[in-house]
Structure 1
């Protein structure tokens, strides 16, 4: 009876999706090659078929899966095969349950949805272990879907001379690729990047560390100097004992940016007339050999430095980074400590005076996860632990 209870309370459902600029048949041809799934699933280390067939209903295989320190061999069987629409599997190993890929045609390509209904092994714990495990798995699979989109784009286009080359990174609506000795950021949805390029040029002209803009081939792309070094978030993941140093460094960058006047034609998000970044947090600070460089200027506006710091505080308290698994684990454990240290270092009175307005601005982001949205509401009400 106890085993049945444990199985029930550790069961969970997860669903993630992404839009891919490729036809459903093209996406299907890639993901239905099950052996190639290790190319885009960061947690899948190897796939070995245990059946004579390698496609279609009845195909069985074993997948060695590793997330952080946890490693398991997942035994799977294909139970649904409807090209180019759905591919379903059943888990029969330490992890049990079902999974499904659904491919839906949309105007710009394919909406790829990955859903899982899983029962975890005992070492994830009972109900207390379900929520962190669910969050970690969801983050890993979101990263996997971004990898899948990147692979599809790589299959469509190869580098020639100074044409966009190998993929270096992906965001919600843009990608970063090699571009000769530089890098190029390109919008995947036709968004105008002219403001971002202008913001980087402007703050650099005032002595603030931002990427050097080399050229802007068109409104939807910008070429920048390549930066080397980890992000502040990456270094926190590898060396969490440097938390205090990075808190001080982040607060210093906020103050330095507060000395840069914003152009008069920029949108204002608060009182004040300095440049505000609105996403100046550890994942957007590159630690180069020449010092820290702040990246991702897509939201740059005019406002007050304390409002910008409050925006960072809201993100630190309510949103786990969407990058590396190790970094996520560190931030999940230390983000409250980091946020409170940042609050003290920058100035609690200054940040808290702008907290409600910064939270309101954060809630305008339509891409907020429901859990993050609720956390922002709780923070604004003073109810977040």
Structure 2
């Protein structure tokens, strides 16, 4: 397998071009990606829009189909889509995901959770939106996934000046299409509290991102009431 140019980089991994319309995502810390590949294969079997994926030569490697199209963030920045469409689409992707039975859990209330679903992790291909980066995927209550999606947007609105206006604009339609319950888009307080705890323990977040979590939770409540 000949590894080509670097085509992308995130907080924990780099993505390299491969021949045959594929890419290699390699964790810098050597985390095991085999479970992620299994989750993506399972979701693909159920018709969920994920890239085709295969385990790489090393545990920290994941070979994936190379997607063609902008991320949702890029499309928003370029004016190709509206914030209203983005929020509705994110809510729809969460709903479709949570309609699929859990892969390994025997708890009837559990589903596959992405836990990092935001506009940078949605690629808009000619065939439709495709969800990428399943590194944080777990199984559990769907409400935790929706709470995490909202909290990530709220944090971006408060701590990432380059996308702050965009994130705030997407948060409102996301909450609206999730269903308004108690002013928080159908997000239960216990799930939002758990999402906050998990974000606070995330080692890839900056001190500013962690320090403004309470403000982010308050922004979700205020946006849901508006």
What interval of TM-score do these two structures reach, taking the shorter chain for normalisation? Answer: 0.7 to 0.9
Task: Report SS of the residue matched to 2:117.
Answer: coil
Asked if the contact 1:378/1:384 (under 8 Å) is kept, the reply is no
How many matched pairs? 216
Larger RCO (alpha carbons 8 Å, 6+ apart): 2
After superposition, what is the alpha-carbon deviation per residue over 1:50-86, rounded to whole angstroms, capped at 9, x for unaligned? xxxxxxxxxxxxxxxxxxxxxxxxxxxxxxxxxxxxx
Task: Give 1:172 shift.
Answer: 2.1
After superposition, what is the alpha-carbon deviation per residue over 1:162-188, rounded to whole angstroms, capped at 9, x for unaligned? 321110011222110011121111112
- The CA distance in 2 between the partners of 1:369 and 1:201, in whole Å, is 32
The correspondence of residues 112-191 of structure 1 with structure 2, limited to 5 A, is 162-181=1-20, 182-191=22-31
- The CA distance in 2 between the partners of 1:169 and 1:321, in whole Å, is 25
Asked if the contact 1:272/1:302 (under 8 Å) is kept, the reply is no
Tell me the equivalent position of 1:291: 128
Asked if the contact 2:151/2:220 (under 8 Å) is kept, the reply is no
Task: Give 1:257 shift.
Answer: 0.2
Tell me the equivalent position of 2:151: 314
- The CA distance in 2 between the partners of 1:355 and 1:193, in whole Å, is 27
Point out the structure with the larger strand share.
1
Task: Give 1:218 shift.
Answer: 2.4
Tell me the equivalent position of 1:147: none
- The CA distance in 2 between the partners of 1:220 and 1:281, in whole Å, is 23
- Cα gap change, 1:186 to 1:321, in 2 (>3 Å): farther
- The CA distance in 2 between the partners of 1:367 and 1:188, in whole Å, is 13
- The CA distance in 1 between the partners of 2:99 and 2:56, in whole Å, is 27
- Cα gap change, 1:384 to 1:342, in 2 (>3 Å): closer
* 2:166 pairs with 1:334: yes
Select the residue among 50, 55, 71 that pairs with 1:210. Answer: 50
Task: Report SS of the residue matched to 1:286.
Answer: strand
- Cα gap change, 1:343 to 1:260, in 2 (>3 Å): same
- The CA distance in 2 between the partners of 1:380 and 1:248, in whole Å, is 20
Tell me the equivalent position of 2:192: 355
- The CA distance in 1 between the partners of 2:87 and 2:157, in whole Å, is 17
5+ long unaligned stretches in structure 1: 1-161
After superposition, what is the alpha-carbon deviation per residue over 1:124-152, rounded to whole angstroms, capped at 9, x for unaligned? xxxxxxxxxxxxxxxxxxxxxxxxxxxxx
TM-score, normalising length from structure 2? 0.86
- The CA distance in 2 between the partners of 1:193 and 1:234, in whole Å, is 27
TM-score, normalising length from structure 1? 0.52
- The CA distance in 1 between the partners of 2:220 and 2:179, in whole Å, is 21
Select the residue among 194, 201, 205 that pairs with 1:364. Answer: 201
- The CA distance in 2 between the partners of 1:352 and 1:237, in whole Å, is 31
- The CA distance in 1 between the partners of 2:215 and 2:36, in whole Å, is 31
The correspondence of residues 33-112 of structure 1 with structure 2, limited to 5 A, is none
